[in-house]
Structure 1
């Protein structure tokens, strides 16, 4: 059977309290006789000094009336005996009648003989079975004999028993009150733990909407806040992973769709090549060219997908160096002139950066290639292509403007997705897979930046920014 944390706390607290009270009770029982003896010894030593002082003040005129007064006032009996143990004076009538010290007095002197010789005083105690304690303080008076002060305490054991009963009752009341206090305290302590346990149980079920509410200003509240933060981050991570899984599924579907057509073309032409080579050999070159083009199309697709995967790996895959933007733009211009020699539109560029920037120049150049290629593909055939680079708030912005039709607002976020195409009616001759802008986005993210798109009056501005 599971034992709750609260029950453990209460059991442990009760055991500690019972153990402590039992220790006090046993200790009091063991030390009671010693305590009574020591307390009376101290009192009787003081009384002996007072009696001796009183006697000396009377020049040892041992009148019984004086001793009786002292004995009555202090609840004691006083006896003065000479060195032969004969009674000189006593408040005890039977001793005066007997004339000598009794057996108990002689026993007390005998047991304290060494102490009397060394210090001149001794103490004797006796606890009998009749619930009576007898104490004798003995002082040796040089030149006179002995001073014996007796004190009998009746009912010591009975009194101690009553005290023990009172102590036990007080201990029981203390234990009951302590248990009630423990129940209240443990309930207050365990409540936040139960709340945190409830929320973590929901997190284990992938329910991240529950939050731990702990009002106490202590470590448990900090733990609850940490659990809530962990829940929020797990929720974000799960949503991101779910979206990533969906993106991967869509990627596989789109790749299968994109690869299906060239593979079908290659298979169809390959199956007929044997017949064509025999019956129509003049068409063989055409068949080979078509197969080669379709293979190149698949190769381009696979290469672009590998680029996307590499950029998704993060900034660790980048080869960061410092370089001038003008060198980057020169490379883009040369590529543009080689790629589109027949294009009649205007090509411009503007670099507003004055110092070197840091990043992977090859990756950034590829991003600009894709933006320019996208601008040429969707812009007016004779329209303007304008590359603009500037620095703002410790970030470097790259944008490519093309004259032409704008991008619908509802489509602007989607153009960065892999295989997404705004114009669904595009022909296959354009060699476009909808991967280029996704590469741009991943390259920007790898550099700690992002992407943007804006429709202007006479065209579209698409770009990205990186952290400098």
Structure 2
């Protein structure tokens, strides 16, 4: 705060004003005496000229108007005067006549008639003599002008200069009082006046500081119409433009970050895809190549062996074909190339249709399928993709079924959200593996997966469909098996349900 313009500006103005008054007082003290003396000399000469003019016009001063004119001149000049003829008679006097008469006698007859005086001739000509005289006893100081008129009259004109120093002392005291008073008054006035300009400047400084810290809520609210107001409005416009620019930069940065993350994710997916596809295709390609070479080389030329070789080649080719189709479908869903067609359909009909399609396999593998929902349950979703989800869940249940060999399918509806689930008896999935089952090519039991020809893509497709439709899917263990679930909108609701994994 000690460097604030709010304080520095008034102090600077007060200092300048104080110095100006002090200089005026100093120069006044130094030169006022000379001015005063010069003025007194002019005054006493002016009285002499007036007196000479009046006497020339009226030698005996018989006209009262002439006497009054001379009196007025003496009064205005503050002088005393006496005129004496050659016989020593007083023709005219103004002021202390007897004092000047004695003074005239001193000049004519010497100091025996009066006190000793110190004299200094200032000016002397044919008409008069001007001197500066000081009474050594009373220490009184005068300017005296004396001489003889054309009429033969002697005259003495005197003006006191004794009060000059007293006047200077009074003047200096006055200047001191004036300086103190003006300093106090001007200090108050400067604080009041300068605050009108320093407060908005400080406000602008505060706003600029907040702007440098990216706080753009600060706005200039002053009503000035001058340059300060223009600056304040310009800062408001600058703040608004900077805020908009920074917001745009932040948005662009977020988009750029998303693009970078997406690119990294795509690169990782591409690497994983190439690695996993290479790994998954390696075995069937090797089998196809081996058995094809065996057929070519006639390793076993009996019809049964040749048929077995051909069946292996066909089986492995079929697995490769299914895997490639699933990979293409997964890629289309993940990269948004597959359009989602939301429509309203009966979920019960879809599930019953899938059950009919796998009924023969269930009979062959001695699997019991339970589905008790008979009333229509309508949902909003892409029917083709939901059919694919259910198919993958059911296929996964067949591949991992054990124990009582039961597959239970059910639909639960709550608060406008429909949850479809598929449960199969069998071994539980380790808790630390539950989140990994959605990863492409991930296999909990690799030996069993290879046995039924799985490739770990089916559940990845389910997860990709859920993400594309902004829905939830999951899995949890039961004491005697595993349940997979998928949520759908029953009444165009966007909120999911919280389910207990033990239900």
Q: What is the TM-score of this pair, normalised by structure 1?
A: 0.52
Q: Per the alignment, do residues 275 and 385 of structure 1 end up closer, same or farther by CA in structure 2, a change over 3 Å counting? A: same
Q: Residue 32 of structure 2 aligns with which residue?
A: none
Which residue number in structure 1 is paired with residue 295 of structure 2?
273
CA distance, structure 2, for counterparts of residue 213 and residue 409 of structure 1: 49
- 2:320 matched to which residue of 1? 298
Q: Is residue 385 from structure 1 mapped to residue 407 from structure 2 by the alignment?
A: yes
The answer as to whether partners of 1:215 and 1:221 remain within 8 angstroms in 2 is: no
Structure 1 unmatched runs, 5+ = 1-177, 196-211
Q: How does 1:208-357 map to 2 (within 5 A)?
A: 216=218, 219=240, 220-221=242-243, 223-225=245-247, 227-228=249-250, 230-232=252-254, 234-276=256-298, 279-280=301-302, 282-314=304-336, 317-351=339-373, 354-357=376-379
Alignment match, 2:116: none
The alignment's TM-score, normalised by the length of structure 2, stands at 0.48
The 4+ residue runs of structure 1 with deviation greater than 6 A are: 181-184
C-alpha displacement of 1:227: 4.1
CA 335–263 in structure 1, closer or farther in 2 if over 3 Å, else same = same
Residue in 1 aligned with 2:234? none
**Residue pair 2:420, 2:485 contacting (<8 A) in 1 also:** yes
1:426 aligns with 2:445: no
Pick one of 462, 468, 483 that aligns with 1:446. 468
C-alpha distance in 1, partners of 2:345/2:447? 41
The alpha-carbon distance between structure 1 residues 455 and 294, as it changes in their structure 2 partners (threshold 3 A), is same
**Matched residue pairs, number?**
276
Check 1:282–1:382 CA distance in 2 against 1; reply closer, same or farther (3 A cut).
Answer: same
**Whole-angstrom distance in 2 between the partners of 1:346 and 1:280:** 41
The separation in 1 between residues aligned to 2:257 and 2:463, in whole angstroms, is 24
Structure 2 CA distance, aligned partners of 1:260 and 1:316?
29
Answer whether contact 2:408 2:424 (CA < 8 A) is retained.
Answer: yes
Q: Quote the offset at 1:415 in angstroms.
A: 0.5
Q: Provide closer, same or farther for how the CA distance between residues 281 and 406 of structure 1 changes in structure 2, counting only shifts above 3 A.
A: closer
Instruction: Rate the CA distance shift 1:233–1:457 in 2: closer, same or farther, 3 A.
Output: farther
Confirm or deny that 1:396 pairs with 2:418: yes
The answer on 1:459 being equivalent to 2:448 is no
Residue aligned with 1:425, SS: helix
3-state SS of 2:474 partner: strand
Residues 455, 461 of structure 1: 8 Å contact kept: yes
Provide the C-alpha distance between the structure 2 equivalents of 1:437 and 1:457, rounded to a whole number of angstroms: 22
Shift of the 273–230 alpha-carbon distance from structure 1 to 2, 3 Å rule, reads same
Range with greater deviation from structure 2 (342-351 or 271-280): 271-280
Give, in angstroms, the shift of residue 466 of structure 1.
Answer: 2.7
Cα distance in 2 for partners of 1:380, 1:228 equals 55
Indicate if the aligned counterparts of 1:322 and 1:358 stay in contact, CA closer than 8 A: yes
The separation in 2 between residues aligned to 1:427 and 1:449, in whole angstroms, is 28
Q: Which one of the candidate residues 368, 374, 380 is aligned to 1:358?
A: 380
The whole-number CA distance in structure 2 between the counterparts of 1:352 and 1:234 is 50
Q: Per the alignment, do residues 427 and 371 of structure 1 end up closer, same or farther by CA in structure 2, a change over 3 Å counting?
A: closer
Distance 1:279 1:351 in 2: 55
Q: CA deviation at 1:359?
A: 2.2
Provide the C-alpha distance between the structure 1 equivalents of 2:449 and 2:428, rounded to a whole number of angstroms.
20
Larger radius of gyration: 2
RMSD: 3.5
* Correspondence for 1:106: none
Given the superposition, is the C-alpha separation of residues 288 and 345 from structure 1 closer, same or farther in structure 2, using an over 3 Å criterion?
closer
